[in-house]
Each structure stands twice: as structure tokens, then as C-alpha cells.
Amino acid sequence: MQPDLSLQMRKLDGVFQGWGRGKYPTIESFEYSELTRFEYDERYPMIHLEQRTILADGEPGHWESGFLRWWIEGDEDSPGPGLVEMSIAQGGGRVEVLRGPLLELADGFRLELESVVLGHDERLVRTNRIIELRGDQLEYEMGMSTTTTDEPRFQVHVSAELQRQVEGEGQ
């Protein structure tokens, strides 16, 4: 039986804050603080998200915004049952569309999203995002392969652990 995507996805609604780290063969490893906001609109099967990071030295880091959407059973344009799609635009111009299943967990869910469209960054070969929500704890990994390494090998680029914030706290 397919999970009730609206019931599961609405669990993201809110603000999450925490710490992450990044690495890639072509850059120095780094750490960052992150604030990510998810806003669920009950009129549509979608969530707006905005992610902002601050590097450990206090400098602004990454900024992206986009949507998570899913399809209601019977939607004619559905790419398949149980799938969620993430459409993201990043501050530097890169755009990504990723798609994959929502897997229910005892205390939350896991999204396993793979790139289906990559734009405005010729270096990208493939990206993915694994997002796991367990109660008020959100963890994610973003992986990629690019043409900037000798051999485009897929590897984790950034990962973070975030905690849901109480209204007004840390926002």
C-alpha cells in the first residue's frame, strides 16, 4: 500500500536549525550553520522550502529555494505512485529537479531523490538528496558527481542534522 503522501509530507511544516559539513575533492572541507523553513499549503500537494547557511567564519554560505510536490491518486500528470519531486533554484543560478519515493519509517519518513533535470551548471553530472525526518529531527545528505574531478565519481558533498524549532526560537 502506498503511503499517504500529504499526511507524511505535512510533517515537514516548520523551521529547522542545526549544523552541517561539506567536502568535495576540489574544495577544502567546511562546516556551517543552517536554517531551513518548510511551509505547507493545504490547498495544494506541495511545500515551499528555503534553506540558508552561514559558514563557520560567519560569512554567508549557500541559499536555495524551491518546492517539494507530490501527486494525489488519479492525477493524470503523475510520474508514478508514491513519488515526491523537489524543484530547487540556488543563489548561484543552478537549478535541479529531483524525484524519488517516500519511504515510511516508524517515527517519520525518508525521501530518496535522484536528479532528473540539472541546469545552469555544466559541471554537474548527477545529484541526489536523502532527507530523513524522525520526530523533530531532520537529517539530510546531498551527493553529486561533477566533471571537475579526474573521473566523475558520485560522493556525498554536504550533510546536516537539524532540529525543529519552537515558534519564535532561533528564527
Domains for the chain: give ranges and CATH numbers: 5-164 (2.40.128.20)
DSSP string, 100-123: EEEEEETTEEEEEEEEEEEES-TT
Higher-pLDDT residue of 169 and 90 is 90
Q: What is the pTM of this model?
A: 0.91
pLDDT at position 99 = 97
Q: Which residue has the cell 500537494?
A: 45
E strands of 2-136, at which residues? Answer: 14-24, 27-41, 46-55, 60-70, 83-90, 95-105, 108-119, 124-134
Rounded Cα distance between 72 and 51, Å, is 26
pLDDT at position 79 = 76
pLDDT at position 169 = 61
pLDDT at position 152 = 77
Q: Give pLDDT tens digits for 123-159.
A: 999 999 999 999 999 999 999 999 998 877 899 999 9
Given a cut of 90, whether residue 42 has pLDDT beyond it is no
Higher-pLDDT residue of 167 and 113 is 113
Measured CA angle at 114 (ends 108, 120), to 5 deg:
125
Q: Give pLDDT tens digits for 51-109.
A: 999 999 999 999 999 999 998 767 777 777 789 999 999 999 999 999 999 999 999 99
